[in-house]
Each structure stands twice: as structure tokens, then as C-alpha cells.
């Protein structure tokens, strides 16, 4: 049986760097339905920006391909899948290490996966060389905080 979500959104766009801002703003606008805090929204935008940038500069290496973004909302959680059909990742464990980058000449810092991991609650990376990469991330929204009533 298919998992039930409250709402879903699909986006497909060309792997052009100008679309990095478009992608994170579109996801942020959609996620706003869950009434996230400003910080939660900023974290989600940053994680989406990292994943989409990776599709464009590593997956397609600036050739034109299609980036797919599937966003699902449940009552208190957002799940985002970002997919490319690019070159894929040979060793995911190594790729995830802080400061690891295959493109230091482009002034990449190798901090993308580290940021996605720390800004989201879960991240899962699936990749096949020459087939593509799918990154799935989720984050609980408005996790109840310990508050003291006035």
C-alpha cells in the first residue's frame, strides 16, 4: 500500500545553476503550509540548495540534464527527494566525509553532505555510477520544545 501524505509536490527543471535559488525557494514556499519556524525553513532551504547544486555540478558536470525534486508533507514532517540521472557516486561513505570534494578547482569545500546531515533529521543517499543519484532527506517541523508558560 502506498504511504499516505497530506500533500505532495513535484518539480523538474534543467540543471542550470540559476535554478538553485528557484528550487530552494519553491520548496520553502510549499513547506510553509506546516508553519515551520524561520530557522527550520532556513535549514531546509540550505539543504535543498546543497543537494540541487550537487546534481548540477557533480551529477551532470554542467552538461544539461534534468533535476527532479519530490517534496512530501505529512502532519509534522517534510520529506524531500532530489534525483539526477548523472554520473553517480562511486563511494558514498567517502563522499559524505567532511571536506571531501572531487572539485577543489571549482572552490568547492566538501561540506555539502555534512550540512545536509546536520540541518535535516535524516538523509539517505542512493547512487549508481553512470545511472544517477537520489538523495532523500526528512525533517520534523515544529518539534515541540520545552516551554515555560508565562
Partner 1 sequence: MESKFYEKDKLLVFKITEEIDDHSVQKIRRKADYEIERFMPRKVVFDFDSVTFMDSAGIGLLIGRYKFANLLGAKLEVANLTQSVNKIFEMSGILKLIPVTTLA
Active site residues per annotation: 50, 54, 108
Residues 122-141 that bind ligand ADP (CB under 6 A): 133
Q: Is 42 in the site for partner 1 (CB under 8 A)?
A: yes
Q: Is 45 in the site for ligand ADP (CB under 6 A)?
A: no
What is the spatial distance between Cα 24 and Cα 52, in angstroms, rounded to a whole number?
9
Q: Is residue 13 within 8 Å of 68, Cβ to Cβ?
A: no
Q: Is 139 helix (H, G, I), strand (E, B) or coil?
A: strand
Q: Is 113 in the site for ligand ADP (CB under 6 A)?
A: yes
What is the spatial distance between Cα 34 and Cα 29, in angstroms, rounded to a whole number?
10
Site map (CB under 8 A) of partner 1, residues 77-116, x = contact: -----------------------------xxxx-xx-xx-
**Among residues 37, 62, 91, 109, which is the contact residue for ligand ADP, using CB under 6 A?**
109
| Axis crossing angle, helix 112-119 with helix 38-54, rounded to the nearest 10 | 150
Amino acid at each position: 500500500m502506498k504511504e499516505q501524505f497530506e500533500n505532495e509536490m513535484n518539480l523538474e527543471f534543467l540543471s542550470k545553476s540559476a535554478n538553485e535559488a528557484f528550487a530552494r525557494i519553491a520548496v520553502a514556499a510549499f513547506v510553509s503550509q506546516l508553519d515551520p519556524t524561520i530557522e527550520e525553513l532556513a535549514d531546509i532551504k540550505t539543504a535543498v540548495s546543497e543537494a540541487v547544486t550537487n546534481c548540477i555540478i557533480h551529477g551532470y558536470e554542467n552538461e544539461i540534464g534534468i533535476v527532479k525534486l519530490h517534496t512530501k508533507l505529512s502532519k509534522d514532517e517534510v520529506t524531500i527527494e532530489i534525483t539526477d540521472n548523472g554520473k553517480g557516486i562511486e563511494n558514498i561513505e567517502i563522499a559524505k566525509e567532511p571536506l571531501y570534494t572531487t572539485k577543489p578547482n571549482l572552490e568547492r569545500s566538501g561540506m555539502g553532505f555534512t550540512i545536509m546531515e546536520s540541518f535535516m533529521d535524516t538523509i539517505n543517499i542512493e547512487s549508481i555510477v553512470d545511472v544517477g543519484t537520489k538523495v532523500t532527506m526528512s525533517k520534523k517541523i515544529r518539534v515541540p520544545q520545552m516551554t515555560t508558560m508565562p
